[in-house]
Structure 1
Amino acid sequence: MVTDMPEKQKRSKSSGSLVTKVSVSLRQAIASGQYGPGDRLPSEIQMTETHGVSRTVVREAVTALRCDGLVEVRQGAGIFVLKTAKDGSAGKIDKARLSSDLEVLEIRTPLEIEAAGLAALRRSPSQEEAIFECHAKVLDCLENNQSIREADLALHFAIAAATNNPLFTQFLELHGPAAIPQSRFVSKQQEVDQTAYRRLIHREHETIIVAISDRDEQAAKLAMQEHLRGSQLRYRDMMRDLRGIAAN
């Protein structure tokens, strides 16, 4: 058992470096004007051939760009570049897209609550280990003052995988990146608040994974419910801010 760990860590780091490589390549192509606003990026198959990576790596790289507001995935049409501000950062928050993301989050919440409960009942030792590894990556990002968006989503994917029902994972592949509010809307000028917010997310995650590790179905479902309903409240706060409505 112990001798398998270095190889597993090696594979994990290799996969992560490939995602970063593809993500950086796509960002550079967009920044250079090779792909402008409204342009469609190459298909997943084309990108796997161009970069010599798996479709999973391509999807994770695209997820990173999508969470930054650089691209959007239109089902059945492809991946399209969005408009960005002159400084290269994501443009102003799109009110319609924010509303759409909230709709996705409302659908995602009951599914992931059930997924957490099933993961607590069905997870294997290796799946439990994968969940803890993803949680550790979130902490690593926190300690290095990096965005936790990719690690956050990876943790949710690991929990979905632990249900041993592939439909949970498939749903997240389609909609998960649209519902990670901390990744796109926290102001870079408010670094203290941003760090505090990320640590809040980390604590919420920890409650979920401890319950899954303990095989406590009800505690896992309750922890996921509190986490995702909290995300809904944060989305609604942003919608009020966009419309100039003061909180009570």
Structure 2
Amino acid sequence: MPRPTRDAAPEPTPDFQPPVRSAKLADQLYEQVLAKIVSGEFAEGDKLPSETRLGGLFGVSRPVVREALSRLQADGLVAARHGAGSFVRHRPRTEFQSVAPIGSIADLMRCFEFRVALEGEAACLAAERHTAAELTAIEEALAALDRVIETGALGAEEDNAFHIAVARAAQNDLFTTALESLGRHVLNGIHVARILSLAHNRSRLRLVQDEHVAVVEAIRRRDPDGARNAMRRHIENARLRVLGRGDPAPGDEPDAGS
């Protein structure tokens, strides 16, 4: 007589909101999955629902799901295992969601990605072309950031002013125009990165300032490759710090899963 079998326990169904068609669908799915990672609903090491199931839950096609998962992988939050699916790799700290509310995060990450390319080349040209007056303006912006650290202020405006000063020293108005046209996105990214650094440990801002110093030193010695690399490294590190994946400052606890 065959042995009776038990039905497998049903897989829990995550609660996904219907997509808003006026916004990019992959961005919306990216942010909803990210929100569930931050909240712990999808814990580190957990397997995400399959592409087919995510598409069905969210009401979108598999190409949209793949794009969202690809961005999560690029940000180091999810890892794909061949033949096994996608798994949560890293959970940002909970305060991330309070200062970078859902609805703005995908734009924030894209802005960081664009700035790596834009400002890296601006710094390269600034090293080649800067005048004495432009170098002075960059150094004054750096000094203003030093004062911010001393007083414990946030310094988002001062940080933004530093990046604008470097772009102006490239002596190509299109760099400055592009950066200023991104003003709200750039300032939002700087604000989030700095407020999270302050919330984590104030000494983290010293690491950020050391990155600024590396950019200035390369520009000062007219080292285009060094300036490009220093600026690209700084902005990429800012993106990682926003996601809670940056190297811990001295005295900090290591990030979970890093």
> Which TM-score band applies after superposition, normalised by the shorter structure?
0.5 to 0.7
Write the distance in 1 (CA, Å) between the matches of 2:194 and 2:173: 32
Find out whether 1:108 has 2:115 as its counterpart: yes
Residue matched to 2:63: none
Residue matched to 1:50: none
* CA contact 1:148–1:198 (8 Å) conserved in 2: no
Write the distance in 1 (CA, Å) between the matches of 2:128 and 2:179: 20
Deviation at 1:193, TM superposition (A): 3.4
Residue matched to 2:218: 211
Find out whether 1:247 has 2:257 as its counterpart: yes
* CA contact 2:214–2:230 (8 Å) conserved in 1: yes
* 1:147 partner amino acid: L
Write the distance in 1 (CA, Å) between the matches of 2:219 and 2:207: 19
Cα shift readout 1:169-208 (whole Å, capped 9, x = no counterpart): 11111214423545236668x8573421211111100000
Write the distance in 1 (CA, Å) between the matches of 2:191 and 2:99: 14
Q: CA separation of 1:208/1:95 partners in 2, compared to 1, >3 Å: closer, same or farther?
A: same
Task: Say which structure is richer in helix.
Answer: 1
* CA contact 2:127–2:221 (8 Å) conserved in 1: yes
Residue matched to 2:178: 171
Q: Secondary structure in 2 aligned to 1:100? A: helix
Q: Secondary structure in 1 aligned to 2:104? A: helix
Write the distance in 1 (CA, Å) between the matches of 2:193 and 2:216: 25
Residue matched to 2:240: 233
Partner residue of 2:166 out of 152, 159, 164: 159
Write the distance in 1 (CA, Å) between the matches of 2:232 and 2:99: 30
**Count of residue correspondences:** 152
Q: CA separation of 1:199/1:177 partners in 2, compared to 1, >3 Å: closer, same or farther?
A: farther
Gaps spanning 5+ residues in structure 2: where? 1-96, 246-255
* CA contact 1:128–1:162 (8 Å) conserved in 2: yes
> In terms of Rg, which structure is larger?
2
Q: CA separation of 1:191/1:223 partners in 2, compared to 1, >3 Å: closer, same or farther?
A: closer
Q: CA separation of 1:213/1:129 partners in 2, compared to 1, >3 Å: closer, same or farther?
A: same
Q: Secondary structure in 2 aligned to 1:147? A: coil
Q: Secondary structure in 2 aligned to 1:237? A: coil
Gaps spanning 5+ residues in structure 1: where? 1-89, 239-245
Q: Secondary structure in 2 aligned to 1:146? A: coil
Write the distance in 2 (CA, Å) between the matches of 1:211 and 1:228: 16
What RMSD in Å do the two structures reach over aligned CA positions?
A: 2.6
What is the aligned-residue identity percentage?
30
Write the distance in 2 (CA, Å) between the matches of 1:113 and 1:133: 20
* CA contact 1:122–1:164 (8 Å) conserved in 2: yes
Q: Find runs of 4+ consecutive structure 1 residues off by over 4 angstroms.
A: 185-188
Residue matched to 1:121: 128
Partner residue of 1:195 out of 196, 202, 214: 202
